[in-house]
Every structure is written in C-alpha cells, then in structure tokens.
Amino acid sequence: MPETAIQKIEVRTITPVLDTINAVLVRKLKANVEELAAVTNRAIEKGVKTDENAAIADTAVRRNYKAINIGHEIRKQYTRPLDDGKKEITLEVEIILSPIVESNKILDDLVMERSREIKAAEAEAKREAEQEQRDIEEAARKEEKRRKNISLAQGGEGNYRPVKVDAPIRPVAQIGMMNATRTRSIPDRDIIEKAVENGIREIPGVHIFQVWTFKVEDSKKVPELYRKDVRG
C-alpha cells in the first residue's frame, strides 16, 4: 500500500477527560472518597478488638465497596463507548482484510515450504560434499601409508611420494532453484512445547520450568485450611 494512502490520525486532548464528566457528580464522589478515607484510616488506627470498633470497621468497609463500585460505574459510562468503538473498528478492518487474510496464509505457507525444501537440499548437498572431501583425504592417507610400507619392505627408510589431494570440493549452494524468500530462524515454540510435554528437560537457550495449577471441583469438600471468608 503506498505511503500516501495512509493518513496519520492525531488525537489531541484539549480538555481533561474528567472535565467532560458530570462535574457535580465528580466533585461529590471526590468529597465522599476523602471522607471515607478519613473514616477508614481512623478505623485502622482503632483496630477491631472490640465489638464497637469491629462494627464501625465493618460499616466502613461496606461503604467503601459501595463508593468503589459507583466510581467504576461512572468510569464505565465513558469507557464502554470507547471499547465498543474499538470493537467495531477492529471488526470492520477484519472484514475489509478478510479476502486476502486466509488466501495469503495459504500462499505464504507454499512459499515458506519451498524455501525450507531449498535449504534442506542445500544442507544435504553440503553434507555430501564434506563427506566426499573426507573420503578423498582418507584415501590419500591410506595411499601414503601404502607407499611408506612398500619403501620399508624394499629396505628403504619409509620415504614415499606424497599423494596430491584434490582441491576441496565447493558445496553446491543452490540445487537448480533460487531461494528468493528472505527468512530468519527463530525458536519454534510449538516444537519446544511438544518436546517438554514428551519429557525433554534440557534445551540450550531454553529455561524449562514446571507450572502447577488447579481447579476447584467440589468447593464443599475443600478443607478449612484451604478456605477463606468473603463477604456474602
């Protein structure tokens, strides 16, 4: 897509967001929160050792929860439209892009598969070339040893004419195909995950750790040691 086709949208905040909210309601909420904070701090200082202090603290907690919920409801009145707008924009863009998303993935998979095949062929050609070079060098060593033994058998000092080793074989860089796909190698998380699931515990560059989790299947059977009280 040409750069000229993309217009950058700048969002400038001229008026603070809170100023757009009902000013009277916000001032009332702030004042209420300040009052509740003062009451809460006094209750914390007094503690809950007596019935009276415990009752005061319990009432304060309930009022605090109510104020917190009211504050979040005010916030949601303004954030919900933003969230809904974000969802609509995301969906609209997905609809616009849908004609190429799936087909592009199929085409990309084909291109990447061809790239992998070329790399595999090049790697195999390199291995074969290296093995052939090792075979040539090993044959040269054996021939030199044979010539040395002949010299010794004939009463000589083991002198022999060195075997000339052919120049190193240049591995085939490309097997009749050009790899036009630019790629980079990154860890394959799916393969690593499967390896860990199959019992592999050491992979260079990978920290493998055990994660324990749980699901409560029958809350009534959970022992008191693993329970807590919440407001009903």
Give the predicted TM-score (pTM) of the model.
Answer: 0.49
What does the alpha-carbon distance between residue 88 and residue 111 come to, in Å, rounded to a whole number? 33
The band of 56, judged by pLDDT with boundaries at 50, 70 and 90, is very high
pLDDT tens-place string over residues 63-115: 999 999 988 988 888 888 889 999 999 999 999 999 899 899 999 889 888 88
What does the alpha-carbon distance between residue 83 and residue 149 come to, in Å, rounded to a whole number? 88
Q: Which amino acid is at 203?
A: I
In the 8-state DSSP scheme, what is residue 221?
Answer: G
In the 8-state DSSP scheme, what is residue 220?
Answer: G
Determine the pLDDT at residue 122.
Answer: 84
With 60 as the cut, is the pLDDT of residue 3 above it?
no
The band of 146, judged by pLDDT with boundaries at 50, 70 and 90, is confident
Task: Count Cβ atoms below 10 Å from residue 128 Cβ, excluding itself.
Answer: 13
Determine the pLDDT at residue 214.
Answer: 84
pLDDT tens-place string over residues 148-173: 888 888 878 877 778 887 766 565 55
With 70 as the cut, is the pLDDT of residue 179 above it?
no
Nearest by Cα to 43 from 31, 33, 53, 32? 53
Q: What is the mean pLDDT of residues 131-138?
A: 88
Give start and end residues of each alpha helix (H) in the chain. Answer: 17-20, 23-46, 51-153, 189-197
Q: Which range among 55-64, 147-156, 193-202 shows the weakest confidence by mean pLDDT?
A: 147-156
